[in-house]
Structure formats: structure tokens, C-alpha cells
Amino acid sequence: MEWEELYKKKLVSPDEAILNINSQSRIVVAHACAEPKILVDALVKNKEHFENSEIVHMVAMGKAEYVNSDMKKHFTHNALFAGASTRKAVQDGRADFTTCYFHEVPKLFKEGYLKVDVALIQTSLPDEHGNCSMGISIDYIKSASENAKLIIAQVNKHMPRTMGDSFIHVSDIDYIVEHSEPLIELCPPKIGDIEKAIGKNCASLVEDGSTLQLGIGAIPDAALLFLKDKKNLGIHSEMISDGVLDLVKSGVINNKAKNFHTGKMIVTFVMGTKALYDYVDNNPLVEFHPVDYVNNPIIIANNDKMISINSCVQIDLTGQICSESIGYNQISGVGGQVDFVRGATMSRGGKSIIAIPSTAAKGKISRIVSVLDEGAIVTTSRNDVDYIVTEYGIARLKGKTLKERGRVLIGISHPDFRDELINIWEERYRCKF
């Protein structure tokens, strides 16, 4: 049968598609801004059909109504990351959390740690061969689809046709819901003076010809502001947002110095505005690959001069990094932080950077602390960290003793907290600072 005919046969309404799911299924939802909103809405609307279905999702950018108290009988939520809309549910115990390096998430599906019954995906319109692109998030959803018993797709003309390993053929989809609507967007963050100072310090570590991984938020975007005079930068990153577009347009990011995937940006998902989504549409210069490839530390390390820039919540004086909880409260997840810290560390000429404002809570709390808060999770081990950057400077931890680590970290802490940290350091090591 021709794919066009198959496509027509598979067309159903959102309710029809969702009512084909067995009641007690594990349902994996496409990630971040690629969430198929019409399907998730239909899931919630048809809640009476479900009893104890498990919804697996990572950064949930939609409404995530399935975590509401009145959904308890129908859905449980297994979060791979506690994002804004699911954080409270995880903290209150209404949802549970699976801790896992991002690059290993596909393995959970492939090897049956998390058996996938249903994948809810969102795709572009099919091309002339019947291939639909899963668009702006390939990460774990490619693997979830390949291992699912049932695949339901929202086909949306606004979903970019992204290049790389991003395609699924119409014949592999079970039910198709045609529904075009603008994708979820993420507005560029506000960049203040502190972020600018941190960004400038980060940029000073970036040599011409480096390949970058940038986390999400104001600090990575601020670092990009200070890279305008660099040459031949490349991108091999879990994700990118709008911040890179200016440097791409000006030719600073041209990927020419990359020693593989030369000339191309490599990502596993993107989050941003329509301008970014338009840029990646049909653009062979940006390749999307599954996260077990993009975030695999060995693959990352094959890039010479690999620079990773990520952030954290707290760092203790020995270098232990907490990036995902405030005390016992899970606020995010490991994501790709450790994947890229390790990949950059193994890269020839690579540097891993953890960049933070020196304080939190409007200056009331130091992020550089003598010990992590009770319950705080060590996201990145002190054996893995290297460069720590604040608005007060750069501390390099690799090869340093515990005393030296304390000294350099106190040196980049906020002046209001230095005396207190020095006292604790002197008491602990029984010597003068």
C-alpha cells in the first residue's frame, strides 16, 4: 500500500487515538517543547478510561494536568526531570522520580528497565517519501518509539522538519491525529549584570576553534554575548536555544574546526522561540540525534577543545556540586550535566565549567558553602569538576588538594560570606587561611 493511503487510514480524532490505549499502560510523552499537546489534553479529558496508567516525561513544558490531585486514581507520573509544571508533584509525593544520566534514558527503554507500552509523539508533515520528522526533540523519544507497542502521533505543520536521525515513517505509526498549532516556546531569559560578569569570565576560557555545550538559561546566554570576537566555534550540545543564533549569523559559530561532524551543529533537542524553530527547519547544518549518541561522554570527548558550561545550586568547599535539589526538595534533575562534564574532561584541550552567581535568594544565601544542605543531592562528584566560575572570578579545582580547593573557592565567593567560610576552613584544617 502506498504511504499516502496508509496515512489516510490511520487518521483518527484525538479521543479515538487515546481510547486505543489500554488502561494500565506506561505512556512515554515526547520531551520539552515537542510535547504533543492535543494528545496530552485528550489523555486528561479521557481520564475515566485509565486506571493507574504511568506517564513518563522529562522536562514537561505543558500544563501537566495529569499530576493534579484529582488524577490520582487514573495516572501516576514518573518524572525523569522535575520541571516547572511537575516539580511540586514530585516534592509532594504525588509523582515519583527516576534518576538517570540523560544519555542512559534510551537504554531504560531498550533494555526494558522501563518497558514502553505507548509513545505519544509529535511530528512534521510527511515528506514525499512518507517520512515524518520528530522535529525539535529527538533525545529519548526516538528510542521510546522504537520500543513502544503503540505509537500515536500528532502531525503538526508547525513542527520543523529537522535533519539527522530524526525521522519516523508513516508505516511505523499506529494512529495519526492531524492538528496544527504553534509549538510551545521558551522566551529568552533576562540577562542582568551578574550574569554578564559570569558570562565574561566563562568566555575568557573559550579558545578559538572550541566546540561548545551550553545548558539552558541566562548564564549560557550571557557567555554567548562575550564570544563575538572568537573564531571558528562549533556546537555539540544536548540543546541550544535562541542565544546561539546571532553567533551563527555572524559566522563566529561555523563548526569548521570540529574534528567530526565538521560544518554541522549537533544537538538532541532545542527549546526557544519560533525564530529558532524556523532556523532548524530543513536545515542540514543542524543535525538532531538521539541522546544516547549526542550525550555519550565518549562521543562528546571526540571533539577537541570541548567546553561544557552548566550551572548548579550549591557547591561545597571540596567541590561537590548539587544541581538538582534544594535540600531534600528535587527541583530539576541531572539532565546532561555529568555527561558533558565527563566528555569535556576527556576531550583533548577540553574544559568543563560550572558557572553560578555567588549567591541565591537575592544575596541572602551563598552558593559556595562549607557543607551541602541536609538532603542535597551530589549531582556532579568532586572528582569530576574542574572550572568553577562566579561573577568574582574563576577557580580551577583539578589537581588541587582539599585545602587548595577551599582557598580558590572562597576566593570567588561573595565577599559578604568570605569571613565565615574562612573561619570554617581554618577550623577544619587547623591552619591559617
Which residues are tagged catalytic? 238
CB of 385 to ligand COA, least distance (A): 12
**Region of 244-252, 309-317, 415-423, 425-433 interacting with ligand COA (CB under 6 A):** 309-317
> Which phi and psi angles does 253 have, rounded to 5°?
-90, 105
Residue 118 or residue 334: which is nearer to ligand COA going by CB? 334
Among 48, 128, 193, 361, binds ligand COA (CB under 6 A): 361
Q: Which residues does 9 contact at the CB level (< 8 Å), separation at least 6?
A: none
Residue 70 or residue 374: which is nearer to ligand COA going by CB? 374
CB of 71 to ligand COA, least distance (A): 25
Among 326, 395, 409, 410, binds ligand COA (CB under 6 A): 326
**Region of 48-56, 155-163, 273-281, 310-318 interacting with ligand COA (CB under 6 A):** 310-318
CB of 111 to ligand COA, least distance (A): 23
# chain residues binding ligand COA, by CB under 6 A: 22
Return d(Cα 409, Cα 395) in angstroms, integer: 6
Among 125, 184, 365, 408, binds ligand COA (CB under 6 A): 365
CB of 315 to ligand COA, least distance (A): 9
CB of 229 to ligand COA, least distance (A): 25
Interface of this chain with ligand COA, residues 206 to 225, rule: CB under 6 A: 215-217
C-alpha cell at 92: 509532594
Residue tagged 503503540 (cell numbers): 150
Residues 365-402 as b/e (b if ≥16 CB within 10 A, e otherwise) read ebbbbbebbeebbebbebebbbbbbbbbbbbbbeebee
Classify 340 as helix, strand or coil. helix
Residue 32 or residue 71: which is nearer to ligand COA going by CB? 32
CB of 331 to ligand COA, least distance (A): 6
C-alpha cell at 371: 557543607
Name which of 259, 202, 191 is nearest 226 in CA terms. Answer: 202
- Helical H segments across 139-234, by residue range: 141-146, 193-203, 218-225
Does 310 engage in binding with ligand COA (CB under 6 A)? yes
C-alpha cell at 401: 588538594
CB of 326 to ligand COA, least distance (A): 5
Among 313, 355, 377, 412, binds ligand COA (CB under 6 A): 313
Return d(Cα 140, Cα 113) in angstroms, integer: 14
Please provide the distance, in angstroms rounded to a whole number, between the alpha carbons at the two ends of the chain.
Answer: 77
Among 324, 384, 386, 391, binds ligand COA (CB under 6 A): 324
Return d(Cα 378, Cα 324) in angstroms, integer: 8
**Region of 4-12, 67-75, 227-235, 321-329 interacting with ligand COA (CB under 6 A):** 321-329
Return d(Cα 218, Cα 237) in angstroms, integer: 16
Residue 160's Cα: distance from chain center in Å? 19
Sheet holding 306-310, edge to edge: 163-164, 286-288, 265-270, 234-240, 211-214, 306-310, 351-355, 387-390, 393-396
**DSSP one-letter code for 358:** S
Among 201, 296, 314, 347, binds ligand COA (CB under 6 A): 314
**Region of 155-163, 170-178, 304-312, 397-405 interacting with ligand COA (CB under 6 A):** 304-312
Could you give the string, one character per residue 334-353, with x where binding to ligand COA holds by CB under 6 A and - elsewhere?
Answer: -xxx----------------
Does 312 engage in binding with ligand COA (CB under 6 A)? yes
If phi over 0 gives left and psi between -120 and 50 gives alpha, with beta otherwise, what is residue 138? alpha
Does 67 engage in binding with ligand COA (CB under 6 A)? no
Could you give the string, one character per residue 370-409, with x where binding to ligand COA holds by CB under 6 A and - elsewhere?
Answer: ----------------------------------------
Q: Which residues does 388 contact at the CB level (< 8 Å), separation at least 6?
A: 315, 319, 353, 354, 355, 356, 394, 395, 396, 397, 409, 412
Interface of this chain with ligand COA, residues 230 to 249, rule: CB under 6 A: 238-239
**Region of 171-179, 180-188, 264-272, 333-341 interacting with ligand COA (CB under 6 A):** 333-341
Does 360 engage in binding with ligand COA (CB under 6 A)? yes
Residues that bind ligand COA in the complex, under the rule CB under 6 A: 215-217, 238-239, 310-314, 323-324, 326, 331-332, 335-337, 360-361, 365, 367
